[in-house]
Amino acid sequence: MTAIYRPREWDAATYDSLPLPHQGWGRGVLASPPLRGDERVLDVGAGTGRDTALLLERLPRGHVVAVDGSTAMLAQLRDRLAGVGPDRLTTLHADLTVPLTLEEPVDAVFSVATLHWVPDHASLFRSLAGVLQPGGQLRAEWGGAGNVANVEAVLVDLGLPRIGEACNFATAEQTAERLAAAGFTDIDVVCVPDPARMQSAAQFEAFLTSVVLSAVLDSIPTGQRRQVVKDVTARLPEPQVDFMRLQASARRAA
């Protein structure tokens, strides 16, 4: 069996119901950009909009363009931000594997837990550079080399496709080189361990099903998916996923 990459639908309701490590990752990325408050910022893989909401708070006179490839995630985002007018928020359903086109360039690009879902980082970074103003900043975090290694080991034991077959878990060095080749400067990339633990077995199964194993489960017949999640869970000694996170900041060359 081979996991097939494609922009996929997400279970937005389950996603928003879980205490995801993504929330901390988003706060971390948002802590760093030196925003004035009136910029136009692209949220790449905005999902259900938790971070888009925080971004909007940082941009009282600015605008966020929230792009995502999942209709369900974008619908949840629009619900969450129903009170925000079109002068402050644009939502865009788009596939990040093809070059983005925006009506206006943005001053900054922000992304949490998304870029590993896009297989070709060289063209992804060119696409992001292409919508950024010269001198505009990129702040992003996503899964890097060695990501989810404890789950990958169990998948190999069970003869199932690895998550890394559907995702691009690059090293910090590869990422820095690709950012430079795409026209970014002032590049800083690290890859750091950040294990996440769920509070109960039920939460862990929901987390594996809707997030961590989602690409793998796409390639498995629907009727077998629940058992696959149970088999993976049973082989992990604790309800923990060993994440490795790339954290990148860069600036589009002026």
Residues that bind ligand SAM (CB under 6 A): 7, 10, 22, 26, 45-47, 50-51, 68-70, 73, 95-97, 112-114, 117-118
Rank residues 117 and 207 by Cβ distance to ligand SAM and give the closer one. 117
Rank residues 71 and 224 by Cβ distance to ligand SAM and give the closer one. 71
Rank residues 123 and 171 by Cβ distance to ligand SAM and give the closer one. 123
Shortest spacing between CB 246 and ligand SAM, in angstroms: 14
Tell the burial category of 36 from Cβ atoms under 10 Å away from its Cβ (0-12, 13-18, 19+): exposed
Shortest spacing between CB 113 and ligand SAM, in angstroms: 4
Shortest spacing between CB 249 and ligand SAM, in angstroms: 17
Beta-carbon contacts of 200 under 8 Å, excluding residues fewer than 6 positions away, are 239
Rank residues 76 and 233 by Cβ distance to ligand SAM and give the closer one. 76
Report the distance separating Cα 109 and Cα 139, nearest Å.
6
Report the distance separating Cα 10 and Cα 118, nearest Å.
15
Rank residues 67 and 172 by Cβ distance to ligand SAM and give the closer one. 67
Shortest spacing between CB 140 and ligand SAM, in angstroms: 10
Shortest spacing between CB 244 and ligand SAM, in angstroms: 15
Shortest spacing between CB 169 and ligand SAM, in angstroms: 14
Tell the burial category of 98 from Cβ atoms under 10 Å away from its Cβ (0-12, 13-18, 19+): exposed
Q: Report the sign of the C-alpha dihedral through residues 126, 15, 172, 155, in that order.
A: negative
Structure tokens at 82: 């129903």
Tell the burial category of 31 from Cβ atoms under 10 Å away from its Cβ (0-12, 13-18, 19+): exposed
Shortest spacing between CB 83 and ligand SAM, in angstroms: 20
Report the distance separating Cα 212 and Cα 74, nearest Å.
20
Question: In this structure, are strands 184-193 and 244-252 parallel, antiparallel, or unpaired?
Answer: antiparallel
Rank residues 73 and 208 by Cβ distance to ligand SAM and give the closer one. 73
Structure tokens at 242: 């060993």
Report the distance separating Cα 46 and Cα 110, nearest Å.
9
Rank residues 111 and 174 by Cβ distance to ligand SAM and give the closer one. 111
